[in-house]
A and B are shown apart, each in its own frame.
Chain A
Amino acid sequence: MADFETPALKPWPEIPPIEIGAMSHSKPFAAKPEHQQNIGFPGELIDDWQQVAIDKLGELVNNSRALRVFLDSCVKCGACTDKCHYYLGTSDPKNMPVARQDLLRSVYRRHYTLAGKLFPSLVGARDLDRSVLDEWYSYFHQCSQCRRCSVYCPYGIDTAEISMAAREIMDTVGVGQKYCNEIIGKAQTIGNNLGLPEPALANTLEGLEEDIEEETGVTVRLPLDEKGADILLVTPSADFFAEPHVDGLIGYAKVFHQAGLSWTLSSYASEAANFGLFIGSYDNMQKLTLRIREAALELGVKRIVFGECGHAWRVAYNFLDTMAGPFDFLDRNYPVPQHICEVTYDLIQRNALKLDKSANDDMVLTFHDSCNVSRASRMGDFEGGQFVIPRAVIQASCNHYVDMPADTIREATFCCGGGGGLLTDDLVELRVKGSLPRMEALKQVVDTHGVTHLAAICAICKSQFSKILPYYGFEMDQIVSVHQLVGNAIVLGEEH
């Protein structure tokens, strides 16, 4: 691991001057041949990779209006240049969204536009050679696909779409990223990103049931593969073992228990996360969504609820019905799918849960809006519900809550720095530097309002913060799950 310096937290955010090549050394471990082949890609760089890559680019452009419009429309106005957390944290100009897009756009122009064919240097068009491919590998793995740039672009250009396309092209020629591709293979064969088989999962859940009973004296179940349950809960597998994720899972279980809802987890679809999104692979993403459909049919459930996970919620909310629908076999009185925060929020609205806010009095909380929930999905039946509902759930569970500065939350939220398939130790420098804007916002409310904890509804955010908080002088356990707060506050055993 290369040595690097953690950026200093400034009292207010600054846009750094560009430092060319500051992060050009950053690149994730390459996927091994078996990781590639498991998910339908060549094991290593193929011989005629240039032509195959260019053809693939053309195919993707022909199949995606977004990609075509985005590659054509950019006027280089600069609106996005100071919006990416990786630029703000690293100063590398290729981490400005427009410059990142241009890595692909330059090749698109060269091969698919008249201007680029005739006057390449005039319009910034480049041939695809090995150095360009290397640059793609480095910088398209410095984008967490958080869509912050797309909020500010006058044409809605979403760098996430460009990064996904570039990663798919690289996979197609045999250049894949180990972290994502290994995980996708596991999820497709075993059912979850951790590669946790059914017996291990059953064992873990049993252990959690014992823990809850020991702590509360109440028997709260975490059912697995129970046919005939009403609700299938699909949650990121990190919820089964990681801290603070597992406290969130305990929170969901307590909510279901107290509301008298019948629910189950599935060992076949034991993963909400869908890394197929990160590598832009429709086919791989679809395979993972189909496992959820099959599990729902097999178990005969009436509803599907997703646990706390950002990009999983994006895929569930926006793509599940398209890729694995129609879900006409579910109870259409409930949205398909539903977010666990929506379930809890509805119960709170109906006074179906008794919450003792004082149980969280040892904390002053703030909420980190996860990027894929904020800018790529919704909760509830009104615009912006994804901001209101988690906050309402938190505030119903605690007495002390403060928002971070307005330009760092809601649609303007900063990525945790570890999303989009970058949550791997081989990218720790990028992850630490990319979290700078979020850490500065946190520092501000820590200093001014005595905030002690950051709550999140995303498995990646939670893992990322556990890892990087100590780099900035915080403690790793200052990150909590939203349903951990609910779980702490919920009064069990009384009538509901």
Chain B
Amino acid sequence: MSLLTLVYTLLFYIAGSVLLAGLAYRIRLYARTPTPLHIPTTPAPTTRAGVVKRMFFEVTLFNSLFKASKWTWLFGWLMHAALLLVLLRHLRYFTEPVWSWVALLQPFGFYAGFAMLAGLAGLWARRLLVDRVRYISSPSDHLMLALLIGIVLTGLGMRYVAPADIVAVKAFFLGLMYFDWQPMPPDWMLNLHLLLVAALMLVFPFSKLLHAPGVFFSPTRNQADNPREHRHLPTRTSTAADTRG
């Protein structure tokens, strides 16, 4: 086994474990943290079914963001929708035989790469050009965009500039999944692409990317507006919960 293969094999096992364990830990923490009071942002649905619908449109269409800022919505939604397509397209590297619906997505997946780039560029432009957004940006906010753009550019680069040996890449990842390790092709564009992806997986559970699980746990969005019909019981761990006894 070459050093390159060894490094990438270990890297992806570590990155995958950190991503999954980190997210599981965080999600468990969110789920177990009490909600002492009923705080939906109203007007809000009065039933659980209504809440499911509200949440569905919130995470698929970004309703609140649409109300807030059309440009941010446009770039943000474009980026996320494209990211979803790109991720689904990449399932082909982890399944054998390739699921038919994944195969159908293949051509859209390529365009999605460009759409994602456009979305990210738009978001970065806002971050740099709008004084308010520039003010609230930390170095990590710029780095996150740089990281994602790096991933997209190297991805597109393998498609249009320096094609990668995708058969070997697929063998590498299937090998990781079935513990039958295969060589990582020495290809700087591919290696860089995968290195950046691993970095993204590693920072995910420690960064603002936690907005992905966080949105589902946001009490202002996931509580039904029904406090007069259903008593909200104080799930509070501190001693102040019910001083009345």
Contacts and interface: CB of A to CB of B under 8 A. Distances in A.
Given A115-B206, A115-B207, A154 B65 contact: yes
Contacts of B186: none
A73 B218 contact: yes
Given A154-B215, A286-B243, A123 B72 contact: no
Given A79-B72, A93-B132, A383-B225, A157 B218 contact: yes
Contacts of A2: none
A319 B38 contact: yes
A78 B237 contact: no
A300 to B, nearest CB: 20
Contacts of A292: none
Chain B CB within 10 Å — which of A65, A113, A153, A290 has the most? Answer: A65
Contacts of B50: 383
A322 B141 CA distance: 39
Chain B CB within 10 Å — which of A63, A74, A324 has the most? Answer: A63
Contact of B132 (A78, A286, A381, A383): A78
A323 interface: yes
A31 B219 CA distance: 32
A155 B211 contact: yes
A65 B219 contact: yes
Chain B CB within 10 Å — which of A17, A18, A78, A82 has the most? Answer: A78
Contact of B232 (A70, A322, A386): A322
Given A76-B208, A157-B218, A383-B45, A93 B64 contact: no
A98 interface: yes
B16 interface: no
A471 interface: no
B46 A74 contact: no
A114 B206 contact: yes
Contacts of B163: none
A81 B139 contact: no
Interface stretch (A235-243, A372-380, A415-423, A478-486): A372-380
Given A80-B68, A83-B68, A114-B206, A290 B244 contact: yes
Given A81-B132, A283-B243, A322-B37, A73 B237 contact: no
A79 B136 CA distance: 11
Chain B CB within 10 Å — which of A61, A99, A124, A382 has the most? Answer: A124
B2 interface: no
A303 to B, nearest CB: 13
A465 B227 CA distance: 31
B230 to A, nearest CB: 9
Contacts, number: 222
A73 B228 contact: no
B52 to A, nearest CB: 15
Interface in B154-200: none
A113 B138 CA distance: 16
A175 to B, nearest CB: 20
B7 interface: no
A123 B140 contact: yes
Interface stretch (B26-34, B82-90, B97-105, B112-120): B26-34
Contacts of B36: 63-64, 282, 322
Contacts of A42: none
A173 to B, nearest CB: 17
B217 interface: yes
Interface stretch (A144-152, A352-360, A396-404, A445-453): A144-152
Contacts of A17: 131
A81 B127 CA distance: 12
Given A78-B72, A147-B41, A322-B233, A156 B220 contact: yes
A158 interface: yes
A96 B43 contact: no
B132 A325 contact: no
A330 B153 CA distance: 66
B155 to A, nearest CB: 22
Contacts of A384: 43
Nearest to A152: B68
A411 interface: yes
B76 interface: yes
B132 to A, nearest CB: 4
B188 to A, nearest CB: 27
Nearest to A407: B67
Nearest to B126: A78
Chain B CB within 10 Å — which of A124, A155, A282, A378 has the most? Answer: A155
A151 B65 contact: no
Contacts of A387: 43
A68 B33 CA distance: 8
B43 A386 contact: yes
A66 interface: yes
Chain A CB within 10 Å — which of B127, B139, B218, B240 has the most? Answer: B218
B23 to A, nearest CB: 12
Nearest to B130: A78
A390 to B, nearest CB: 14
A155 B218 contact: yes
A325 B42 contact: no
A453 to B, nearest CB: 26
30 contacts: A17-B131, A18-B132, A61-B33, A63-B238, A64-B33, A64-B34, A64-B36, A65-B35, A69-B214, A69-B217, A69-B218, A72-B211, A73-B208, A79-B69, A79-B72, A82-B132, A93-B135, A96-B136, A115-B203, A156-B41, A156-B215, A282-B240, A286-B244, A317-B227, A318-B227, A319-B227, A336-B228, A383-B42, A383-B45, A383-B46
Given A66-B219, A153-B64, 10 more contacts: A18-B131, A18-B132, A61-B33, A76-B136, A76-B138, A96-B132, A154-B62, A283-B240, A286-B243, A322-B234
Interface of B: 26, 29-30, 33-39, 41-46, 50, 58, 62, 64-65, 67-69, 72, 76, 123, 126-127, 130-133, 135-141, 143, 203, 206-208, 210-211, 214-215, 217-221, 225, 227-228, 231-234, 236-238, 240, 243-244
Interface of A: 15, 17-18, 59, 61-66, 68-70, 72-83, 93, 96, 98-99, 102, 113-115, 119, 121-124, 147, 150-158, 161, 282-283, 286, 290, 317-319, 321-326, 335-337, 374-378, 381-384, 386-387, 411
